[in-house]
A and B are shown apart, each in its own frame.
Chain A
Amino acid sequence: MKTKTVKRNSVPAGSKPDKLWQLRLYVAGQTPKSLTAFANLKKICENHLKGRYRIEVIDLLEQPQLSKGDQIVAIPTLVRKLPVPVRKIIGDLSDTERVLVGLDLRQAA
């Protein structure tokens, strides 16, 4: 059912379904919010993008200079670097439906 969802939704989004998804999660330290966000992201990717995604976690406390490039204000922020266009999703990604919409994995209802 989950795979079905991916197939059904990724194709009409216009992006090539076999292309690698590059996701970047910005966090600031190991806060509960960051951990939740990462866990949620992992789950969503496994469910919808199995084998086609790569997650990069950037801890701004360690590399603050990286905050500039993606115009990070809120933490946590998930940035979809690929496929273009770039999309940003803020929050701990607990609202799966909204994440899917934000990632363009599902049309907004």
Chain B
Amino acid sequence: MKTNGHKPASMAVQLPKCPTGIQGLDEITGGGLPRGRPTLVCGGAGCGKTLFAAEFLVRGATQFDEPGVFMSFEETGAELKANVASLGFDLAGLMRRKKILLEHVHIERSEIHETGEYDLEGLFVRLNLAIDSIGAKRVVLDTLEALFAGLPNEAILRAELRRLFRWLKDKGVTAVITAERGREQLTRHGLEEYVSDCVILLDHRVNDQIATRHLRVVKYRGALHGTNEFPFLIGDKGLSVLPITSLSLNHEVSNARIATGIPRLDAMLGGKGFFRGSSILLTGTPGTGKTIISANFAQAAARRGERVLFFSFEESPHQIIRNMHSIGLRLEPLVKSGLLRFHSARPSLYGLEMHLATMFKEISAFQPRVVIIDPITSLMDSGTDSETKGMVTRLIDYLKAGQITSLFTSLTQGGHTLQQSEAAMSSLMDSWILLQDFEGNGERNRVLYVLKARGMAHSNQIREFLISNRGVDLVDAYIGASGVLTGSARAAQNSLEKAAVLAGQQEAAQLKREVERKRTALERQISGLRADYETEAVELRRIAEQVGTQTRLLSTERTELGRLRQADVSVAAGAHRKFKPKIGKL
């Protein structure tokens, strides 16, 4: 029989389900409790059995038009009304409209004497009358085990209970039967023996001094169900089971972008800021300015006329307002105008479930467009890792469904850049901004990275994050041969560079002058040489002229001489001419 639960859903006919209307439970059980059958809800004292049962009836009456009978063996009608009124259920009104009938069965052991054979027909008659008088589809028996205390004959009782469950089935009502948790079995008197269709176990346990409620579907005959233990809350709107694993990712997304309040950060995020309705994680070591960025974001949103809800788990609202005033952020007018609301609570005030419930309540009451949680890590101390992750998932899911932009700050320990829990949480986040401290030169400087920004081009650059009394600003960090420099080192580097430039300029000028000088020297040399040459040339010309004159004179003299010795010349010439033949003739 049990294997049925593991068969795929292709089995054409599924058991008809009766939706409980309890948030999350219908997701776990795939539609609700088995219709027309009894379901056993067991758990220890104070784990919420009666509220579970009451909500099952109230939701049935209000949401599914299924009237119900609440047969109480412990609490009187007045007590029950008062108790469920804290969940916002108007039991009295529903009773007036004949949607719910409250039947208090009172059994006082001391008044009862047993004498021989009997049965519980009286109970059957009462239940039957109650069901028929309002046409009930749902029945709650809370808690049947009171019968064991009131009626001594267990043999008769057991036989009658078996008959009762059979009778309930025949009657076709969906019943919830509550029972105390037993020591070695699910219920103290072994009621699970009679209810074989669906058993739900509620648990309330304390971890690290903080109590959390859990729900587990122990058994669900013939149906697929989540077998995990799920944390659940009892809020002022009733129960809320947190089925982490069955969350569907089908919320609508927006293409609209919203500014962060820091222009340079917008520039780093593709120039436009975050997507509306996205979830943003802001991690950083202590004192890196997480709250400041959050406050800037809050201010920017409020100035756009959007409502902002600021959950603060470390500082009181007044403290935040005062501190932000010191950096030029005026939050007070925004609070006064009703656009910005703070909600401060110590994380250890109550358990995680209660925090979540409170946050849901605040959010649904205020209807903000932007929610800031500062810091989420404080809450993480109130539960185990899986619980907190479940809670954050749940919260993000809730916010995304409402297209509410959420900013979570997360405090990291110094020394560790990324913690395990953050890495786990970051997968739930659309954008992740990391704030870091840079220590060096005897100072600490803040830097900012955009680690992740789904769906947008974003800067991979490191930016120095400056906080002054005029507000915040991002400046380019110095990135050079010697690494990333920030703060005074960056300033020093800047001036160093300026000096270097100046020196270079001076050197260039120097060189230029040198060249000029050399050129002048060269020119001087050239002109000297030219002068020398000129001098020499003049001398040479003079000599040449002298020589020419002498030559001319000489030739003139010779001509004169020749003229004087004309004959001789001709003789000599003739003799010379005649001499040759003479020789030849010889």
In the complex, which of the residues A64, A71, A86, A91 contacts B118, with contact meaning CB atoms closer than 8 Å? A91
Q: Is B123 an interface residue (CB 8 A)?
A: yes
The interface stretch among A15-23, A47-55, A95-103 is A95-103
Q: Is B543 an interface residue (CB 8 A)?
A: no
- Assess the B114–A94 pair: CB atoms within 8 A: no
Map CB proximity to B onto A1-33 as digits: 1 under 8 Å, 0 otherwise: 000000000000000000000000010100001
Chain B residue nearest to A72 in the complex (CB): B122
8 A Cβ contacts from A53-74 to B: 60-61, 64-65, 67-68, 71-74
Q: A65-B129, A71-B105 are in contact. Are A77 and B122 (CB under 8 A)?
A: yes
Tell me the bound Cα distance from A64 to B150 in angstroms.
22
Tell me the bound Cα distance from A71 to B150 in angstroms.
12
8 A Cβ contacts from B68-120 to A: 103, 105-107, 111-120
Tell me the bound Cα distance from A81 to B119 in angstroms.
22
- Assess the B115–A93 pair: CB atoms within 8 A: yes
Q: How many chain B residues touch the partner (CB < 8 A)?
A: 25
In the complex, which of the residues B106, B111, B122, B129 contacts A74, with contact meaning CB atoms closer than 8 Å? B122
Q: A71-B105, A74-B151 are in contact. Are A90 and B115 (CB under 8 A)?
A: yes
Tell me the bound Cα distance from A79 to B128 in angstroms.
22
- Assess the B121–A92 pair: CB atoms within 8 A: no
- Assess the B113–A67 pair: CB atoms within 8 A: no
Q: Is B467 an interface residue (CB 8 A)?
A: no
In the complex, which of the residues A73, A98, A102 contacts B105, with contact meaning CB atoms closer than 8 Å? A73
Tell me the bound Cα distance from A60 to B129 in angstroms.
10
In the complex, which of the residues A26, A33, A88 contacts B112, with contact meaning CB atoms closer than 8 Å? A88
Residues of B contacting A33 in the complex (Cβ-Cβ under 8 angstroms): 117-119
- Assess the B114–A68 pair: CB atoms within 8 A: no
Residues of B contacting A28 in the complex (Cβ-Cβ under 8 angstroms): 121-122, 124-125
- Assess the A67–B115 pair: CB atoms within 8 A: no
- Assess the A73–B117 pair: CB atoms within 8 A: no
Closest 3 CB pairs of A and B: A102-B113, A94-B116, A75-B121
Q: Can you list 18 A-B pairs with a CB-CB distance of less than 8 A?
A: A28-B122, A40-B116, A68-B126, A73-B105, A73-B122, A74-B118, A74-B120, A75-B118, A87-B111, A89-B112, A89-B114, A90-B113, A93-B116, A94-B115, A94-B116, A98-B113, A98-B115, A99-B113
Name A's B-contacting residues (CB within 8 A).
Answer: 26, 28, 33, 36-37, 40, 60-61, 64-65, 67-68, 71-77, 86-95, 98-99, 101-102
Known A-B contacts: A90-B112, A94-B117. Give 8 more (CB < 8 A).
A67-B125, A67-B126, A73-B107, A74-B123, A90-B114, A90-B118, A91-B114, A91-B117
